[in-house]
Every structure is written in structure tokens, then in C-alpha cells.
Structure 1
Amino acid sequence: MKHQPTAPRELTDVFVRGFKNSFGKRVEIRDTKITGLVLRVTPKDKKTFTLHTRLITAEKVQITLGSYPTTSLKDARAFAMNHLAEIQRGHDPRQQARSAKAAAEALSLTFNALLDEIEPIFAVTKSTWRAGSRFGRTKSEARSAIENVFQSLLGKPVGKLCLPDLSKAVRDYKPKRPRKGKTSANGSAARALTYLRPVFDWAAHRGRFAKEGAGRDPKLHLPDLAQIHDPSIDDPTLEGKRERVLSQDELIRVMPLLVYPAPAGLRPELEPCKDYGPVAFRFILLTLSRREEVTEARRKDFDLQSGTWTKEVKTRRKPGSHGPAERRIVTVPLSASAIELLLSLPSFVQGQPEDLVFPSSGGGLLCNWDRTQEALNRLSATSGWHRHDLRRTAATILKQLRVKPAVIDTLLCHLNPYNREQVSSAAPAYLVDEKILHDAVDQERDAVNLLADALAKICKRYPTSDLSKSAATSSSLSLKRGPSPWASFG
């Protein structure tokens, strides 16, 4: 808005109180007593004191001191003199005002409200901050982890959060549903700390958020969570990078249990014909799939004529990329054994296109994987392995069968299966996963059939016992193939 300048004069209480603006524009009246002090008056006679001056860098600044009569002329002059003194010392009063505002906001902004702020921002580039990004979650993985560990602090103003309180929450966190023989939850606490640290760095303009415009506005003064000890480091029950694979002897004991109907007595609370858990484990092993891919598999995703499975797989975003991440759609070949397995399931043979192939006993998404895992461990007398280790075991078997790493990586549905092939990063854009020649060698299909052959030979070597006669009989449903090329078998 343009303003109407008037001649400078020494401002007085009587003048300020009685001045009326008759110019139809905003009026600015400079005070001759304090250099830079200006009285602004709008056409509606709203009066505001401002300071017009320059920083030591010669940058022009205008600082609002307050509205009259809430801020008196005496107070306005005192504020102006204080700001001028700060400028002489090389400070920027505007930054001090922002810091004061941030400090006041931090005393009213709760921990939970800060999470509400950051969730939609981080969700754009981080799948862990997107609701439903993992099977069975209504909240984002990161939000759930943070709320579990820091539950007692969520209603507290972030300005009152201190390192001892945050560290105590991490140190004292106990599992809500402790596993047998497990009394600590250091892995969960460490994961929550990992998710929360960039939130605090964003709000405090630390690390990669230190550049102008990268962090929260206004900046908050929050503790640096890098100074909190990670409890998982000293926990001997936690492992870092998993390299667990099942040995041949373990597979001999486990595989006859991975059947449908489930072995009698595996889970007494479930009828064997309603328990698709064990056979889902077998399908993971035969197809090198992730748990969530098998859980969400539907009848319409499979084309038995071409022997393929089309599925969504997770993808890892490149650092610095923007926009919502999308899951990739891939089509993978199925071995004859995997197809026979599908044809043995009532859910597949009798199901509608949208029906789940591996449903729960109630017809929904298969859950309680841990209970199935514990039951399998008990009956097979094995331990220390996880369902994801089946995927790693299958990949390791293919490596032992001398299948090319790029072929194995393709079956694992990793983003760039050519990163070991000494080709450029542009290779995936040109080597499209599309079958053009009908009579070309299908290396991926050959690989899954080699895998099925090797697993079939394992089952044939299983010594049938009273415990697993029915399981051993059922296990032959999808494993009747020719001699295995797995050379390690005698």
C-alpha cells in the first residue's frame, strides 16, 4: 500500500493519541527523537510503531514494535533503542524475534502435534511414514514405532522435552507382547529412535535440514537424538545383517510340514483345512517371494496358461527423489511345482478372481505368521530361522546350482538385477523384462524349475516318522519331477 509521508516531528503522547488520518492513505510520521522510529496510521486510524533502519551489512529492515495503545510511545522508544543497540553489536533483531516466537511455540506445541506436522511431509518420500505401507497397519510404520516407545511423552510440549526423558523412554521400553524368553525390546526402541531423529533434525534445522528452507519454519530448539545411546548395539540377542539360511538337514525336517491341509496338531485351535499358513511358507520357498507378496496374492494375479504370477513389489526410492513412490508391477515365472501347489488349494480352484489364494481361517488376509513359525519350529525341532530366510535359502540354492546372479536377482524382484554385470546404470531402461521371442531360452523359468527339483529331492530323502506321515504324504503334491542337478546330494 502506498503511504502519505508527513514532515518528521517529535512524537508526544498527546499527538499520537489525538492524530486522525484524513488523507485516505496510510500515513507514516517519523520521530525526530529516536532515529528510525515511525508511527504508521491507516485510513481507519489503526496506529502501529515500526523501526526503519539498516543492519551492519547495509540491508534495510523494518521491524514492527507494537500497536498503539497496547504499546505506548514510551515502550516503542525503548524497544527501538534496544534493537538499535543489538544491530550495533552485529545482531539481527528479526532473528531474535523468530527465536522468541519459536521458543513460545515450542512450549505449546505437543510432541504428538509435531508428529502430525511431519507425517504428510515425510510420507511423500518415505514409505515408512505412509499409512498402510506395511501389511496390517492402519498407521504408518514410523508413527506406530514412535508412539509405542515414547507413549508417555506424546502429550508433553516439545519445548519441555529433554535428553534424559527421551533416553529413559528408550531405555525402559518393554515389549507389549513379549516373545517366549524375550524380556527386552531394544530392537523396537532403536527403530523408533531411528525414525524420530530426522523429525527432530527437521524441526531444529540440523544435519541435512540445515540449509535454508529445508527445515521447519519456525525453527524449534530440540534435543539432538544422536546423543542418545542405541540400546540395540549392546543387545546380544539382536542380529545386524541377516545371513541365515536353512541347512539341508533343516529343510529335510521342515519341508514335509509345509503342506495343505496343515499337518494335524500343528495348530490345535485351527482345523487343518482352514490353515493355509504352512503351505504359504512353501510357496515363499518355491517362488523366492516376500511374505507380503504371498499374503496379498489373489486368484486373478495368476495366469496358469503362461505359468506366470503378476504381483506388486516394493521399491526403494533413490535419495533426493521427489513425489509419491509407486510399487512396481512385475511378472515372474512359476515352476511346475508351484502351479501344482496352487491347483491343490480350494481357495485357488474354487475361488473368484478377487479371492485371496492364502486366506486366513476367516477369509481375510493371512496373519499370525509368528504362531505358525513357532509351531513349525516345535514340530521340526529347528530354531533361529525366519520366514524371510526361506527366500534367502532359495536364492542360495540357486547360487549353488550356478544360476547367474542377475537371474536370481530378477526372481528376487530387486530393482536393478544388472548391478553385478558391469553394465551402465541405464541398462534396466533398455533391458525390459518383456518376453518377445517365444522360442528363446527362459532363464528365470529354468531357474525356478531347478529350485523345485532340488527341493523335491530333499523331500524324497525325508525319513517318514509317526509325527509327519500325513505331512510327508501331502508334501508330494508338488514335488514329482526328474532327477535334481543339485550336485551336493549323493
Structure 2
Amino acid sequence: MTTDNHTAPREFTDVFVRGFKNGAGKRLEIRDTKVTGLVLRITPKNKKTFTLQTRTVDQEKVQITIGSYPAVALKDARAIALKHLAEIARGHDPREQVRQIKAHAEAHNLTLTALLDEVEPIFGLTKSMWRKSNRFGRTKPEARAAIENVFSELLQRPLGKLRQSDVSKMVKGYTPKRPKKGKTSANGAVARALAYLRTVFDWAAHRGRFTKENAGRASKLDLPDLGNIVDPSIDDPTLEGKRERVLSQDELVSVLPLLVYPAPPGLRSGLDPREDYGPVAFRFLFLTLSRREEVVEARRKDFDLQSGTWTKKVKTRRKPGSHGPAERRIVAIPLSDTAIELLLSLPSFVEGQPEDLVFPSSGGGPLCNWDRTQDAINRDSGTSGWHRHDLRRTAATILRQLGVKPAVTDTLLCHRNPYNREQVSSAAASYMIDTKILRDAVDFEREAVNMLADALASICKPCSGSELARMGEAASSPRVERHPSPWATFA
């Protein structure tokens, strides 16, 4: 009797299996009467495959491919089928064993580079460190670059041959190719690379937050748990947690005179001071409380000549559970009169086209070599231990000392919710939008950046406590225009 693709069951023999020819023009299935559930599938081209078709103790249908004939002989097919049936009778699922065997074989040949190729576009949807150029000038995602840098010797090794001890050895023995000045270890870089790689391995092995259905890699890999490797940064006294470095007034007295355009003669040997926009970029970062990448990306068209504002893209945190590529927020911040005067002193700005960079490198591209500029400033100012991002923190700290409200400073810092320190609901930011409606209302952010500029201008000729107090009072009272805006003459 024949139904659909099935022919009548019969007891398999080697002669029958070897000699059977499929002339039906479609795939046929024949059941073995000796081992219940053993099925021989024959394609129209006479490719023969043994499978097991049965049910679990819960009556769930189970179909397991045993192998192709004649690579798997009839005798072996029956033995494998009986073993699977015994496992199912005990409540086990042989399919999971088959998946594990398949995953192990796959991992045995898959390299770390190939795994990174898989995970990069997936993680890049929700994690900025896995997206290309998430920081200006990067050609690789930050996470991938860190992994490839620290674990370079493991990139082409098959994952099936990779042991936890191999990763641990690289963590313990890594030495930076270009060690940072004054650093005796690269434990911070190693810790980041280890954390990135651990997340990749957890994703591939369905561990941690990837244990839920469809959260991890489609095919599970058997990979070591890197959570068992000690983070080398934990006991490193040279690494800091929350950074609190700000520049003192004495340090600012030494540093500020160097942050000018043209650059101080001899600050960078072999570089024409008129082509060196690095020092003045540091000053502009300080005056506007900006991040480095925001200054690097600033173009002539981003500055409004009439309102004295700078429209820029700032980084933002993604909402939990959101998907798709993250978009940076676009904000418009006010510029102090001093910041405007600084821009008007730059040939790149005054003579530039709308698309031109305001702070170009000597070759006309994006400003780079910030570390070299910082080293030169440290050398000539006699200061050390501070980073360009500490200028942003120093500016915010000065505004706090001058009595500026934290929400105003937070707005200038372009943080996501400047009201989270206020006693208001989390919905406040959705209703109090950062835009100007009333022309004659007090612009507290502009007041703040002008106060900062005044403080920096007077810092080289220290003012008394009463003068600082008077500057602080301006935070709560309308500002009187000191002189016509320099935009007026430029426009």
C-alpha cells in the first residue's frame, strides 16, 4: 500500500537498500519493520538517507537524520536508531545531542575573525562601540579594534582549539605596541578587550543575558566562559574609576596662554604655527564645554551668524530595548562673545566655505594628534596628569563655583536630561524642550558661557573673592550687553 511519498513498510536488508531504485519521480520514504521508526528516504536521483521518526514521551513528533547510505551502513543506522529510542524513552532529547555535536564541529573550524564578522552587524544595531566610526576617524568599531589589538594571536585560530587558558595567557602577557607616556601597564585596554570578547563568547554560547530564546547566536557554540578570567584592571593602582581631575587656577594660569592661534612658536617642532589649530581647539573645547569629537567635526555651516549659536551632533544613549542604528541628537548651544571672537580670528572660519572644517589639521583634514598637542602643552606649561576631557569638567566646575544652576550647566554639557537633578518628574524633559521661543527672555545658557569666558579672562590676573561673587550673581539676573556682538560686523 502506498500513501503520498510512503511505500509499504518492510524489513530492510543490505541487498534491498543497495538495489532499490526510485522511479516515482518524487522522494519516497520506506519504514523498517525491524526497528520501529527507522525510515529510508530515497530522492528521485536515488540519494538514500536514514532517518528516525518517532514521538517523545509527551507525544511530540521527533525526526532525526542519522546519515546517508552507504556512508552509514544499515547495521550502524539501526544501532544509532535504537540508541536514540532508548534516550527518548528515558525522557532525553537526542536532537540536543546532535545539535551539540554539530555546534562543536562548527566551532572546531570557525575562527575568531569569522565570529567577529558575524557579531559586528548584530551588536552594531544597539551598541555604539560596535559601529564603525563611532568616534571620529575610526575605520573599525571600537570593540572590534580592542579585541583584535589585544588578542591578535588568536584571530585565525579555530575556536574548537581555543581554550580559556589561551585567552588568559594573552591577558596576562599583553604589552602595548605604543605604550602611553607614564604608563607601566595596559591593564585598562586589556580589561576593555576582555569585556568585549566575553560578551561575544556569551552571545555565541547562549550564556548570561543571551540564555533566552533567540537572544544568542542561531547555532550555539561551545566556547570557554571568559567570566572566569580575572580582570587585570581591578588591582591596578594606576587606573582610576570615576575621574574627578580638574585643573587648578595655578595650572590654568600656565596653560591658557598656550591655547591660542597661531600656535605658540616652537610648540610643535616642524609645524608652522599658522597651520597648527590644535591649541586653539583645546581653548574652544574649554569655552563651549564640548567633547573632542564635536570640535573635530565642527564645520563653518554649523555656526549661525545672526543668533551666535553652534548647532552640533552630540552622542546619546539608546533607550533600553530599542533597535536599529542610533541617531545622534542635534542641539544648538549659545556661544559666548569670547568664543565668537575666537572663531573670527581663525582663517579657516573667516575664509572657509560652508562645508570646511573650522579646526583642520595641517593637511586640511580632520584635526588629529591631540595627544601630541597635549604633550607639547604639558611640556611648555609645566603641568601634567590632565586630559582634554578634564577641561570640560573644569569648565563645569567653575560654573558651579560661580553659582550657575546645575540644570543650566547640564544643558551646556548636552546631557540627555538636564532636569534629573531637579525635583521634577522624568517627563519634564519631554515638555520643557531645549529651544528658544521668547526673544526677550533671559538666556541663562548664554549668560553662563559668558560668565565662564569672563572668569577665564580674569584668571591670569586673579580677582578677589568679592569679584567672583559678583560674577556669580549674574546667574540669577539678566545680563547687560557689554559691547555689540562681533557677529554684527561679520554679517
Same fold, TM exceeding 0.5? yes
- One-letter amino acid of the counterpart of residue 156, structure 1: R
Deviation at 1:354, TM superposition (A): 1.1
Give the match for residue 218 of structure 2: 217
Say which SS state the counterpart of residue 135 (structure 1) adopts: coil
Give the match for residue 452 of structure 1: 453
Deviations 1:309-350 (A, max 9, x none): 001111111222211101111100000000001111111111
Say which SS state the counterpart of residue 434 (structure 2) adopts: coil
Deviation at 1:56, TM superposition (A): 2.5
Give the match for residue 485 of structure 1: 471
After the TM superposition, which residues 39-438 of structure 1 pair with which residues of structure 2 at under 5 Å, given as runs? 39-438=40-439
CA distance in 2, matches of 1:484, 1:375: 36
Deviation at 1:22, TM superposition (A): 4.3
Structure 2 gaps, min length 5? 474-491
- One-letter amino acid of the counterpart of residue 259, structure 2: L
User: Does the CA contact (< 8 Å) of 1:304 and 1:339 recur in 2?
Assistant: no
CA distance in 1, matches of 2:382, 2:301: 37
Deviations 1:86-122 (A, max 9, x none): 2223221111111001110111001111111111110
CA distance in 1, matches of 2:115, 2:444: 51
Q: Which moved more, 1:62-71 or 1:74-83?
A: 62-71
Name the Cα RMSD after superposition. Answer: 1.9
User: Does the CA contact (< 8 Å) of 1:260 and 1:278 recur in 2?
Assistant: yes
Deviation at 1:34, TM superposition (A): 0.8
User: Does the CA contact (< 8 Å) of 1:450 and 1:484 recur in 2?
Assistant: no
CA distance in 2, matches of 1:280, 1:380: 17
User: Does the CA contact (< 8 Å) of 1:3 and 1:26 recur in 2?
Assistant: no
Deviation at 1:269, TM superposition (A): 2.0
User: Does the CA contact (< 8 Å) of 1:110 and 1:158 recur in 2?
Assistant: yes
Deviation at 1:290, TM superposition (A): 0.3
Give the match for residue 443 of structure 2: 442
Give the match for residue 6 of structure 2: 5
Deviation at 1:444, TM superposition (A): 0.7
- One-letter amino acid of the counterpart of residue 165, structure 1: D
- One-letter amino acid of the counterpart of residue 452, structure 1: A
User: Does the CA contact (< 8 Å) of 2:147 and 2:196 recur in 1?
Assistant: yes
Say which SS state the counterpart of residue 109 (structure 2) adopts: coil
User: Does the CA contact (< 8 Å) of 2:129 and 2:141 recur in 1?
Assistant: yes
User: Does the CA contact (< 8 Å) of 1:457 and 1:484 recur in 2?
Assistant: no
User: Does the CA contact (< 8 Å) of 1:175 and 1:183 recur in 2?
Assistant: no
Give the match for residue 470 of structure 1: none
CA distance in 2, matches of 1:43, 1:178: 65
Say which SS state the counterpart of residue 453 (structure 1) adopts: helix
Deviations 1:241-277 (A, max 9, x none): 1111111111111111111111122112212111111
**TM-score for the superposition, normalised by structure 2:** 0.92
User: Does the CA contact (< 8 Å) of 1:26 and 1:40 recur in 2?
Assistant: yes
Give the match for residue 473 of structure 1: none
- One-letter amino acid of the counterpart of residue 361, structure 2: S
Alpha carbons of 1:46 and 1:163: their partners in 2 closer, same or farther (altered >3 Å)? closer
Q: Which moved more, 1:403-412 or 1:40-49?
A: 40-49
Deviation at 1:482, TM superposition (A): 12
Alpha carbons of 1:45 and 1:178: their partners in 2 closer, same or farther (altered >3 Å)? closer
Give the match for residue 466 of structure 1: none
CA distance in 2, matches of 1:16, 1:409: 78
CA distance in 1, matches of 2:468, 2:53: 90
- One-letter amino acid of the counterpart of residue 123, structure 1: G
User: Does the CA contact (< 8 Å) of 2:402 and 2:468 recur in 1?
Assistant: no
CA distance in 2, matches of 1:90, 1:331: 64
Say which SS state the counterpart of residue 66 (structure 2) adopts: strand
- One-letter amino acid of the counterpart of residue 261, structure 2: Y
Say which SS state the counterpart of residue 139 (structure 2) adopts: coil
Structure 1 gaps, min length 5? 463-480
Deviation at 1:24, TM superposition (A): 4.6
Say which SS state the counterpart of residue 383 (structure 2) adopts: coil
Alpha carbons of 1:43 and 1:164: their partners in 2 closer, same or farther (altered >3 Å)? closer
Give the match for residue 465 of structure 1: none
List 4+ stretches of structure 1 deviating above 4 A: 22-25, 481-484
Deviation at 1:283, TM superposition (A): 0.5
Is 1:17 matched with 2:3?
no
- One-letter amino acid of the counterpart of residue 389, structure 2: H
CA distance in 1, matches of 2:469, 2:227: 56
CA distance in 1, matches of 2:243, 2:455: 23
Say which SS state the counterpart of residue 227 (structure 2) adopts: helix
- One-letter amino acid of the counterpart of residue 16, structure 2: F
Deviation at 1:306, TM superposition (A): 0.5
User: Does the CA contact (< 8 Å) of 1:103 and 1:220 recur in 2?
Assistant: yes
- One-letter amino acid of the counterpart of residue 459, structure 1: C
Deviations 1:64-100 (A, max 9, x none): 2222233222121111111112222322111111100
CA distance in 1, matches of 2:313, 2:408: 19
Alpha carbons of 1:172 and 1:376: their partners in 2 closer, same or farther (altered >3 Å)? same
CA distance in 2, matches of 1:44, 1:228: 53
Deviations 1:404-447 (A, max 9, x none): 11111110001111112232322222222221111111111111
CA distance in 2, matches of 1:45, 1:460: 95
Say which SS state the counterpart of residue 4 (structure 1) adopts: coil
- One-letter amino acid of the counterpart of residue 37, structure 1: L
Alpha carbons of 1:435 and 1:300: their partners in 2 closer, same or farther (altered >3 Å)? same
Alpha carbons of 1:15 and 1:152: their partners in 2 closer, same or farther (altered >3 Å)? same
Percent of aligned pairs sharing the same letter: 76
